[in-house]
Structure 1
Amino acid sequence: MQNKEELPFWQQKTLQEMTDTEWESLCDGCGKCCLVKLQDPDTDEIVDTDVSCKLLDLGTCQCSNYPQRHKYVPDCIKLTADNIEELNFMPPTCAYRLLLEGEDLPWWHPLVSGDPELVHAVGVSCLDRIVPETEVEDADLEDHIVEWPQDPSPPRPWIRYGDS
């Protein structure tokens, strides 16, 4: 059994106890939180689209101007330990949401795998599957509703055929 000090920070600390650097490192870079969401006025259901914020870099799924994003996108929500519980539009694979719900980080998360590109390689991110909001009229947003895949299965332990 590991001592608490041997555990990674996200297993030792609450979201409120994390440093700014630790907090920021929880982002897996999937880009899904930067997509336009639609809310049904009757049911309040929130659905995803494949339409990205104008600041999302389509080649990396990272904000192209993260430090000044609120200047260019005033309704961009700053995710904090105090508001994560209220943000029910965050994807189910989101590290902030998972930790809030008492889950651990998935195997493909950069902090677990050590590979920031794995989130894209396994299909969790929206890389190569989105269009910028500057190319979509508001009236056409309903045509862009999508369901993103959930957490993929762990990698299979493949062995070479014929080996035992």
Structure 2
Amino acid sequence: MSDDPIDRSGLRHQFWKTVPLKKMTPKEWEALCDGCGKCCLNKLEDEDTGAIALTCVACRLLDDSTCRCAQYDIRKQFVPECIVLTPDTLADHMYWIPQTCAYRLVYENKPLYDWHPLISGTPQSVHDAGVSVQDRTVSEFEFPEDEWEEFIIEEPT
């Protein structure tokens, strides 16, 4: 019998506390996503300082009512520059990952927030906590990239 019992969802109990990122199953890895949608916001990088600024300009595939990618499984076909996070690429992309992101938190050995669906038991908690970008974005098709600076926001936390 395994030391890590599997619950009805197919996830090991509190796996994020005990399982290294590189040893998580694909289902566990995906379950870490809190559904905030912040990773799908376009970011601007200052060429001089390297500082990253978050905008409310969303990727064309983000459904901002659900904060989910409308074409998640095939998103690279539509957005070739989309960064697909994996346990192997996480460290390389840490500079733009949202501060509240569970991938960042687990990587940094920090606890998940109470509003995270793995803690609260409901995907709605991230929206209720005001951490998501639900209904707060504009489409990247609405404004040219040279105007995105006007849409810089603070990260919802």
- One fold, TM greater than 0.5? yes
Separation in structure 1 between the aligned mates of residue 141 and residue 128 of structure 2, nearest angstrom = 26
Give, in angstroms, the shift of residue 105 of structure 1.
1.1
Percent identical among aligned pairs is 49
Cα deviation digits, residues 30-88 of structure 1 (max 9, x gap) = 00000100000000111100000000002100000001100000000010111111211
Give, in angstroms, the shift of residue 149 of structure 1.
2.8
Number of aligned residue pairs: give it.
147
Question: Could you say which residue in structure 1 is the equivalent of 2:49?
Answer: 43
Report whether the alignment pairs 1:89 with 2:89. no
Separation in structure 2 between the aligned mates of residue 83 and residue 97 of structure 1, nearest angstrom = 12
Give 1:107's aligned amino acid.
D
Q: TM-score, normalised by structure 2?
A: 0.90
Report whether the alignment pairs 1:17 with 2:30. no
Q: TM-score, normalised by structure 1?
A: 0.86
Separation in structure 2 between the aligned mates of residue 9 and residue 143 of structure 1, nearest angstrom = 40
Report whether the alignment pairs 1:52 with 2:62. no
Question: Could you say which residue in structure 2 is the equivalent of 1:73?
Answer: 79
Separation in structure 2 between the aligned mates of residue 86 and residue 18 of structure 1, nearest angstrom = 19
In structure 2, runs of 5+ residues without a counterpart are 6-12
Contact map agreement 1:5 1:12 (CA 8 A) in 2 = no
What is the root-mean-square deviation in Å for CA atoms of aligned residues? 1.2
Question: Could you say which residue in structure 1 is the equivalent of 2:129?
Answer: 122
Separation in structure 1 between the aligned mates of residue 111 and residue 19 of structure 2, nearest angstrom = 12
Give 2:136's aligned amino acid.
R
Separation in structure 2 between the aligned mates of residue 12 and residue 148 of structure 1, nearest angstrom = 28
Matches for 1:93-104 after TM superposition, within 5 Å: 93-104=100-111
Question: Could you say which residue in structure 2 is the equivalent of 1:157?
Answer: none
Give, in angstroms, the shift of residue 5 of structure 1.
3.9
Give, in angstroms, the shift of residue 142 of structure 1.
0.4
Question: Could you say which residue in structure 2 is the equivalent of 1:148?
Answer: 155
Give, in angstroms, the shift of residue 129 of structure 1.
1.1
**Structure 2 residue aligned with 1:133, among 124, 140, 150?**
140
Separation in structure 1 between the aligned mates of residue 70 and residue 62 of structure 2, nearest angstrom = 6
Separation in structure 2 between the aligned mates of residue 70 and residue 97 of structure 1, nearest angstrom = 22
Give 1:97's aligned amino acid.
R
Question: Could you say which residue in structure 2 is the equivalent of 1:154?
Answer: none
